Amino acid sequence: MKYTLKEIQFLNDNYSKLGCKVCADKLNRSYGGISWKARGLNLKVSKKTILKNHKRIWEERIIKYKVNQNNFINCSTPEVAYILGLLWADGHIRQIGYTNEIQLENIKKDTDIFYPIFLKTGNWRILFRQRENRQEQGLIRTSNKLLASFLIENNYGPHNIKSADKILSLIPDNLHQYWFRGLIDGDGCWYLNIKNSCRQFSLAGSYEQNWLYFENLLSKLNIKFSIKRIKNKRNSSSYIRSFGRKNLIKLGNYIYQNYEQDKIGLDRKYNKFIEIKNS
């Protein structure tokens, strides 16, 4: 259909600042038709408009993310708090260019337990791979720019050595137990050796790790602890640990309150705590 003088005048006045799609919508014409007519009139979209439209398209795409970042930005459920703790321990956030990936890789038997918890917060992808002389691995992942940015802003990310106070300040106090449960399922270890009368809990990290957030928890629970840092040719790490049945019961009772009802986490770690408690 032939373009009217009014339509041509509209394109001359607005094509540069509105762009092809908006003009097509305003004139009830096809995108291809407007693009063809604009070329005939030697009209071009301004660079400012191009950048603005790219931003709008990106924002429209964000709405379609399979995992809603607002569930994590406004943490209000045990599952979200647990996942945030787990990602602090073992998560990998990659934000390079247009890549904004959040990943968690573990042995398959643990991934099989984690995945249903992740699915309660959105449609995460799951992949498996088998490498020679290694246990089968499971990878839970999603791509979400806003979620990746939120995590990095709160000190998640590669080579993280900061204290977790910032993210904990955004999580309601009644959900902190789940964040620490996720952390312990990722990096914590309950150890029992009855023969040597050894009952121990330890949490591992990098040599420069700031343990203040965990020190605060243990002090709040009146639990004795120590911090050790190791640096040599073979190893560079640190860990915070506590000994003794009474200390460990205090910690486990806090971490695993309501575990029998919610079943959020790794049974094998909970069961090891119960062994220590009953030993």
| Domain chopping of the chain, boundaries | 5-62, 70-278
pLDDT at 245: 94
pLDDT at 205: 92
Residue 26: band (very low, low, confident or very high) from pLDDT cuts 50, 70, 90:
confident
Rounded to an integer, what distance in angstroms lies between the CA atom of residue 226 and that of residue 239?
A: 8
Structure tokens at 241: 């640990």
Do the Cβ atoms of 201 and 241 come closer than 8 Å?
yes
pLDDT at 60: 52
* Count of helices and strands (H, E) across the chain: 14, 8
Higher pLDDT, 57 or 149: 149
pLDDT at 217: 97
> What is the residue-averaged pLDDT of the chain?
90
The CATH number of domain 70-278, selected from 1.10.10.10, 3.30.70.141, 3.40.50.20, 3.10.28.10: 3.10.28.10
For residue 148, the one-letter residue type is A
Please compute the mean of the pLDDT values over residues 230-248 and round it to a whole number: 91
Beta bridge partners of 227: 240
- In this predicted model, what pLDDT tens digit does every residue of 100-144 receive, in sequence order? 899 999 999 999 999 999 999 999 999 998 888 888 999 999 999
Q: In what order do the strands lie in the sheet with 226-231?
A: 188-193, 198-205, 236-243, 226-231
Rg (CA), the chain: 26
Q: Please name the residue that has the structure tokens 């459920």.
A: 77
Local structure of residue 176 (DSSP, 8 states): H
Do the Cβ atoms of 244 and 231 come closer than 8 Å?
no
pLDDT at 130: 85
pLDDT value at 63 more than 60: no
pLDDT at 58: 56
pLDDT at 233: 81
Rounded to an integer, what distance in angstroms lies between the CA atom of residue 168 and that of residue 186?
A: 17
Rounded to an integer, what distance in angstroms lies between the CA atom of residue 9 and that of residue 14?
A: 9
Closest C-alpha among 161, 186, 153, 163 to residue 85: 186
Beta bridge partners of 106: 138
- In this predicted model, what pLDDT tens digit does every residue of 78-106 receive, in sequence order? 999 999 999 999 999 988 777 889 999 99
Tell me the residue ranges of DSSP E strands in the chain: 91-96, 99-107, 125-129, 137-143, 188-193, 198-205, 226-231, 236-243
pLDDT value at 260 more than 80: yes
How does DSSP assign 111-133, residue by residue?
HHHHHHHHHTTB--EEEEE--TT
Strand pairing class (226-231; 137-143): unpaired
Residue 47: band (very low, low, confident or very high) from pLDDT cuts 50, 70, 90:
confident
pTM value is: 0.77
